[in-house]
A and B are shown apart, each in its own frame.
Chain A
Amino acid sequence: MNDFEIPATESTPLIRTDRAAGRLEMSGDSYPENSFELFQPVLDWIAGFLGQLLQPLTLELKLLYLNTSSVRAMMDIFDALQDAHDRGQPVEVNWRYDRDNERVADLAAEFKEDYSFPFEIIPGS
C-alpha cells in the first residue's frame, strides 16, 4: 500500500495518494480505453488502506468528464468506501466542480444517491 502518483494525460486524471493524511486525490478527465487498468492501482490502494488502517479516508475529486467505463470503475471505488462505512470506518467524498459544468454535478449526484457515507458535491468557479 505504498503511496503513488500518476500524472494526468489527455485522457486520464491526475491520481495521488497520501496514506499519512488519509487522502486520495483524482482530478481531470477520465476516458481511457481501458479504465480498469487505470483504476486497479486505486482500488488496490483503497483496499489496503481500509483493510490495514482505522483512520479516516477522504477522496478529494475534481473529476470532469468520465467515459462509461470510468463511471463503472468509480462505482467499484465507492462500493469499497460504502463497505468500510458500514463497518464503522470514517470515509468521505468531496467532489468539487465548476458551477458552469452541470453535467459533472449531475454525474456526482447520481452516484451520491446510491451511498450513505458523507458525499459532498461542492460548486466552485
Chain B
Amino acid sequence: MEEVDVLSLREAFSRQGIMLGFNGPFSATLMEEIGKALRKHMEGLAESPSAITDVFSAYIELSQNIRHYAASSGVSGAAAEATIIVSRDDAGHYVVSAGNVVLHDDGETLVARIGELAALDKAALKAAFKTQMRKPRDPEAKTGAGLGLIDLARRASQPLACGVKPLDSQHAFFSLRVVI
C-alpha cells in the first residue's frame, strides 16, 4: 500500500476545488453531521438559503440513495461504502459528486435512467416528478420511490452526468455528478 501523502492529497483537493469529501462506510448519524457541516460552511460563505438547500438536498439524496441501495442490494462490504464530494467548479457552481459499488446490471439501469432524465427540460422533469410521486408505493420500501434522481435533475443547472466502470465480473463503480 502507498504511504499516505497528506500534501499531495491536499494539492489534489485544491486543484479540483474540493470543499468537503468523504470516503468509506458511513452511518445515518455521520451523514447528518457532514450535512450539518456543509450547511454551516455555506452559511459562512453567505450563500442564499435556496442555494444552501439545493446543495444540501443533493448531498442528502445522493447519500440516502447509496445507503438504501447498500441495504437492499444484498451486496455487502464495499457496497456499503460511499465516496461523496462537494466542490466548486471554475464557474463558481457547487458540484455534488458521489460514487459507490453496484452490481453491473444496476449500474446499467442507472445510466439508462439518467440518460432519459438528461433529455427532459425543467417542465418535463416537474411532470415526471409528479407522475412518479403518484405511483403506488411498495409498502416494504423505505425510500423515496424513485423520486431522488428526478429531484437531483430538477435542482441541477446542467444535465446529470454519470459513469460506470467495471471492477470485477459482478461489480462496477457507479458515479454521479450534480452541478447545482
Within residues 11 to 58 of chain A, which ones have a CB less than 8 A from any CB in chain B? Answer: 11, 31, 33-37
Q: For B48, what are the chain A residues with a Cβ–Cβ distance below 8 Å?
A: 100
Quick check: B57 and A65 within 8 Å, CB to CB? yes
Assess whether B40 is interfacial by the CB under 8 Å rule.
no
A33-B28, A110-B126 known; A68-B36 Cβ under 8 A: no
Quick check: A103 and B49 within 8 Å, CB to CB? yes
Q: For A68, what are the chain B residues with a Cβ–Cβ distance below 8 Å?
A: 61, 144, 147-148, 151
Assess whether A80 is interfacial by the CB under 8 Å rule.
no
Quick check: A71 and B142 within 8 Å, CB to CB? no
A34-B142, A72-B147, A110-B126 known; A67-B60 Cβ under 8 A: yes
Our pick among A10, A71, A72 for the contact of B32 (Cβ within 8 Å) is A10
A98-B49, A114-B130 known; A31-B147 Cβ under 8 A: no
Q: For B130, what are the chain A residues with a Cβ–Cβ distance below 8 Å?
A: 110, 114
Within residues 66 to 94 of chain A, which ones have a CB less than 8 A from any CB in chain B? Answer: 67-69, 71-72, 75
Distance of A104 Cα from B32 Cα, bound (Å): 20
Interface of B is mostly: helix
Q: For A72, what are the chain B residues with a Cβ–Cβ distance below 8 Å?
A: 133, 137, 144-145, 147
Assess whether A101 is interfacial by the CB under 8 Å rule.
yes
Our pick among B50, B54, B133, B151 for the contact of A75 (Cβ within 8 Å) is B133
Our pick among A37, A71, A100 for the contact of B144 (Cβ within 8 Å) is A71
Assess whether B56 is interfacial by the CB under 8 Å rule.
yes
Q: For A67, what are the chain B residues with a Cβ–Cβ distance below 8 Å?
A: 57, 60-61, 64, 144
Q: How far is the CB of B104 from chain A (nearest CB, A)?
A: 26
Interface residues of B (CB under 8 A from A): 28, 32, 36, 48-50, 53-54, 56-57, 60-61, 64, 67-68, 126, 130, 133-134, 137, 142-145, 147-148, 151
Interface residues of A (CB under 8 A from B): 10-11, 31, 33-37, 64-65, 67-69, 71-72, 75, 98, 100-104, 110, 114
Pairs across A and B, CB under 8 Å, 12 listed: A11-B32, A33-B64, A35-B142, A67-B64, A68-B61, A68-B147, A68-B151, A69-B147, A72-B147, A75-B133, A102-B49, A102-B50
